[in-house]
Amino acid sequence: MCDNTVDLAAVTRALALALLLAGCAAPGLAPPAAAPIERAGAAPRQAILYRDTVTVQFSDGALCVAPRPSGARAWSGQLAGCAHLAPYQVTLPPGPQVPRRVLVRLSGGGTAVLTLQEAQFGVPGPA
């Protein structure tokens, strides 16, 4: 009878070390980080205000997010989670917040909640 016992912990350590060394040995072979792809002509189409984010859908179908800092009633930044890294500004309307509110594209009156590029989305009605 043959006794082929192997120390599994030693084999696991050896494989982990080999993988680490392989990663360090060839840094030029790693693929470059993917840059966001700007899609020409895509425009913000719809915006939805949630308790912790504003989600924006673009005309090319991309969904982007504007995360809300904890408890903030106004914030700004750059859209995340999509190829459209546009700057935005959010100002919540007065009053209590609902879990979900669809914002309409404003073309005159209303209370602006999201300003993105040349577009404003908000709550319809008198300003």
Instruction: Map out the domains of the chain as residue ranges.
Output: 44-123
Specify whether the backbone of 77 is left (phi greater than 0), alpha (psi in -120 to 50) or beta: left
Kindly state the percentage of the chain with pLDDT values over 70.
Answer: 69
In the Cβ-directed half-sphere of 96, how many Cα atoms lie within 13 Å? Answer: 2
Predicted structure pTM score: 0.65
How high is the pLDDT of residue 5? 62
The closest alpha carbon to 55, from 101, 98, 109, 120, belongs to 101
- Looking up tokens 């009633």 gives 73
Inter-CA distances, 83 with 38, 58, 64, 109, Å:
6, 10, 8, 30
Q: Give the pair of three-digit tokens for residue 122.
A: 């908000």
pLDDT, average across residues 9-38: 53
How high is the pLDDT of residue 94? 86
The closest alpha carbon to 38, from 93, 86, 3, belongs to 86
Q: With 80 as the cut, is the pLDDT of residue 122 above it? A: yes
The whole-chain average pLDDT of the chain stands at 80
pLDDT tens-digit map of 27-72: 454 444 433 444 567 999 999 999 999 999 999 999 999 999 998 9
Q: 19 falls in which pLDDT band (50, 70, 90)?
A: low
More confident residue, 22 or 70: 70
pLDDT, average across residues 98-126: 90
More confident residue, 22 or 60: 60
Query: DSSP secondary-structure letter at 80?
Result: B
Dihedral pair phi/psi, residue 17, rounded to 5°: -65, -40
Q: Give the pair of three-digit tokens for residue 33.
A: 């980080």
Alpha helix (H) residue ranges in 1-127:
8-25
CA dist 122 and 90 (Å) reads 10
